[in-house]
Amino acid sequence: MSILKDTYGRHHSYLRISVTERCNLRCTYCMPAEGIQLSPKSHLMTADEIFKIAQAFVKQGVSKIRLTGGEPLVRKDIDAIITRLSSLPVTLSITTNAISTHRHIETFKKARIKQVNVSLDSLQTSRFTTLTRRNYLETVQNNINELITEGFEVKLNCVLIKGINDDEITSFIKLSKDKPLHIRFIEFMPFDGNKWNIDKMVSYKEIMNTVNTDFPKTDILRINDNPNDTAKNYQIKGYQGTFAVISSVTNPFCSTCNRIRLTANGKLKNCLFSSNETDLLTPLRQGDSILPYIEKAVVTKYKIRSGMESIEQFKDPDLHGKNRSMIAIGG
């Protein structure tokens, strides 16, 4: 039996690898204002260690790898990491804030990366700057357009926060009218230091209320979700692109979860919300097999959100506050 199958029969074929805890943005919902305690460089996986761990997962049945961070493209050896991983028989993809994608397009193409997920939470300059604490909106927009022109499938991730950017839902959807963009609204989730509370979150239901108000009902098409999809997918009739909602808080999709995460310092997280981590880097450096550690992490995975089954538990700061900040997990 595969060591990637958990006690609920879920096969973990999708590995997300964080390659750095650093970022060139400071998104308020991701990075605490005071920053985070960065791991010393010697505790971070080298390019070779990333490859070796990824290779072990692929031998066990992982078929999809996504690179994330922090901002993966701030890592100096990112092109070498991508190129090396592209030699594995996997679908490789990346999640980025798109500040510097223009410098890596050729590497993406050579690595046969087809899909690039880009984070963008506001289409307004001043608001983008407030949300990310940096002034890069124009660069990001230009780079998104370049990625589309170069033939990449671009998904835009937009975290909605009440009273901050929830009045932009319709503007985001309209971006998909003439462009093959896939807009994904993400419910704001709690992590250490991001001052989450349920009242700031814009729920799936609230998002769809706005859509139902702003578009004719007969134009809102519910389209197929892919297997293991975290998103509920929609399209406005006649639009080139699509939109979706990722409702991890109000409507978790744990029963079909196939994801497992590796942090930049080589710790395996069996769930985004898990505060338990399994160290793979130490045994790797000691020359031991990492397979028993992977197996242990997979079999101890909870059925739903690391044991936070109800929304009441999810609100408990003692539970989600023990987790890392998102920037150090890798979304």
Q: Which residue ranges make up the site for ligand SF4 (CB under 6 A)?
A: 23, 25-27, 30-31, 69-71, 97, 119, 327
DSSP 98: -
Candidate list 45, 54, 159, 297; residue touching ligand SAM; CB under 6 A:
159
Q: Which is nearer to ligand SAM, 29 or 128 (CB)?
A: 29
| CB neighbour class for 24 (10 Å; exposed up to 12, middle 13-18, buried from 19) | middle
Nearest CB to ligand SAM, comparing residues 23 and 62: 23
Q: Which does 280 bind (CB under 5 to 8 A by kind): ligand SF4, ligand SAM, none?
A: none
Residue ranges in 6-65 that form contacts with ligand SAM under rule CB under 6 A: 23, 29-30
Stretch that binds ligand SAM, among 181-189, 251-259, 267-275, 312-320 (CB under 6 A): 181-189
The residue sitting closest to ligand SAM, measured at its beta carbon, is 331
**Spatial separation of the C-alpha atoms in residues 45 and 266, rounded to whole Å:** 6
Residues 63, 88 contacting (CB under 8 angstroms): no
Residue with Cβ nearer ligand SAM (138 or 219): 138
Report the residue from 14, 57, 152, 188 that binds ligand SAM according to the rule CB under 6 A.
188
Phi first, then psi: what are they for 36, rounded to 5°?
Answer: -125, 160
State which of positions 105-134 bind ligand SAM (CB under 6 A). Answer: 119
- Contact in structure between 174 and 168 (CB atoms under 8 Å): no
CA torsion through residues 211, 183, 246, 12, sign: positive
Nearer to ligand SAM, 93 or 119 (CB): 119
Find the binding residues for ligand SAM in span 80-99 (CB under 6 A): 95-97
Query: How many residues can be counted in the chain?
Result: 331
What is the C-alpha R_g of the chain?
Answer: 19
**Residue 44: partners with Cβ closer than 8 Å, 6 or more residues away:** 20, 21, 264, 265, 266
Identity of the residue, 6 or 79, whose beta carbon is nearer to ligand SAM in the bound complex: 79
In terms of CB distance, is 92 or 327 closer to ligand SAM? 327
Partner interacting with residue 82 (select from ligand SAM, ligand SF4, none; CB below 5-8 Å by kind) = none
Closest CA to 237 of 252, 255, 256, 218: 218
